[in-house]
Amino acid sequence: MPLALLALAVAAFGIGTTEFVIMGLLPEVANDLNVSIPDAGLLITGYALGVVFGAPILAIATANMPRKATLLGMTLMFILGNVLCALAPTYATLMAARVITALCHGAFFGIGSVVAAGLVAPNKRAQAIALMFTGLTLANVLGVPLGTALGQYAGWRSTFWAVAVIGVIAVIAQMVWLPKEIPMEKGNLVTEFRVLGKPNVLLALAMSVLASTSLFSVFTYIAPILRDVTGVTPHGVTFMLLLFGLGLTGGSMLGGRLADSRLLPALLGMSIAVVLIVALFSQTSHSVIPAAITLLLWGVVAFALCPILQLLIIDQASDAPNLGSTLNQSAFNLGNAAGAWIGGLVVASGADLADLPWTGAAVGVLTVLTALFYLYLQRRQAQTVNA
């Protein structure tokens, strides 16, 4: 069973690398394609919107397909998209290639989360999801820093060629390690869409959107912040991204353990921690060591929310777990797109890059308020049942 989860984690590593590595290469991409930094940042928005719209469509289209074949198909699409990114001659074609790459992202993580949770005992579900997402976090520890360094040394296109190779490895791992028959329930379109009418599901999705918006309104422009505000070198950016990635990895595993034991308190506590640490970054970003420590802590609390929110939506959308889990990926990437867009507006307005974390903190407050309202509704529903 660990090998099956490892196969999912390998694919998650490749997907996470291609999603996030562009952030460390924004200056190189912008210079090569003769566009501004905010325009280059829209490549992140385009990818995120590809996930937002592609995930539910693919989830519905593959609802009754064998899980293993579906996951393999998503990974092959991922390989194709990265090859097209590496070959893209213009900004427009790179944007189109990024969208193609993104189409498989949400469905893979959504279906993969349900598969991972079904491979283990009920009290280990969040930890299994976290193990799969460890591939995503390790992408930030290894994939993004190494991809950034490779792109700076050999050109940004070389990074996408390398990610395509990772995709090939992921296909082989899934073919060998995933069970041939993965239990699944036949999908029903009426049941699948009915889940969207549940207030608890909508609130859970809203929290994913807001948490992601808070993160990416700042992290999208982390390279310019570290270079222009903190004063680190391009190679120093790679090291700082490595620290952030270490925080993400630790946070994902921490969130998995907390979600299996104290789901709702963990949700509220981590949401509050994100606000405090992002606000702190507006002050610590001026010095290298304080900025490094803050980035590490930010990574921990930001990605501790991932398995927490993923398990929450699987539980609340129990009648349609595949669609619910996949929609959570759409929600996360809708926040990704919104965050990149909002951060771009702030940067384009002429605001100091050092003040950008305040934008993330303000959105984080909305996450906390939504979490409090969710807890209030849960208590009212529990009181109604007990009465």
pLDDT tens digits along 176-186:
999 887 876 66
Spatial neighbors of 42 by CB under 8 A, at least 6 apart, are: 95, 340, 341, 344
Q: Where are the alpha helices (DSSP H) in 178-233?
A: 189-194, 199-219, 222-224
**Where in the chain are the domains?**
2-386
Read off the pLDDT band of 192 (50, 70, 90).
Answer: low
Percent over 90 (pLDDT), the chain: 44
Q: Indicate the length of the chain as a whole number.
A: 387
Q: How confident is the model at residue 119 (pLDDT cuts 50, 70, 90)?
A: confident
What pLDDT score was predicted for residue 350? 86
In this structure, which amino acid lies at residue 273?
A
What is the reported pLDDT for 81? 94
Distances (CA, A) of 67 to 34, 183, 256: 42, 8, 23
Tens of pLDDT, residues 71-86: 999 999 999 999 999 9
121 band by pLDDT with thresholds 50, 70 and 90:
confident
Q: Is the pLDDT of residue 138 over 90?
A: no
Helices (H), 62-124: 67-87, 91-118
Angle at which helix 288-316 crosses helix 125-138, to 10 degrees, equals 140
Give the confidence band of 241 by pLDDT, cuts at 50, 70, 90. confident
Lookup result for tokens 């970054």 = 281
Average pLDDT over residues 225-231: 92
pLDDT of residue 61: 82
Mean pLDDT check: name the lowest of 213-227, 330-344, 348-362. 330-344
Question: Looking at residues 257-275, what average pLDDT do you find?
Answer: 91
Of 2-6, 229-233, 308-312, 314-318, the least confident: 314-318
Per-residue pLDDT band for 206 (boundaries 50, 70, 90) equals very high
Average pLDDT over residues 203-232: 92
- Res. 247: pLDDT tops 70: yes
pLDDT of residue 327: 86
274-284: average pLDDT: 96
Confidence of residue 332 (pLDDT cuts 50, 70, 90): confident
Q: Is the pLDDT of residue 134 over 90?
A: no
Of 152-161, 183-192, 274-283, the range with the lowest mean pLDDT is 183-192
pLDDT at 1: 57
Mean pLDDT of the chain: 88
Q: Could you give phi then psi for residue 278, rounded to 5 degrees?
A: -65, -40
CATH T-level topology, domain 2-386 = Growth Hormone; Chain: A; (1.20.1250)
pTM for the structure as a whole: 0.80
Compute the C-alpha angle 8/9/13, nearest 5°: 120
Q: At what angle do helices 91-118 and 26-33 cross, to 10 degrees?
A: 150
Q: Is residue 15 predicted with pLDDT exceeding 60?
A: yes
Q: What confidence score (pLDDT) does residue 330 get?
A: 86
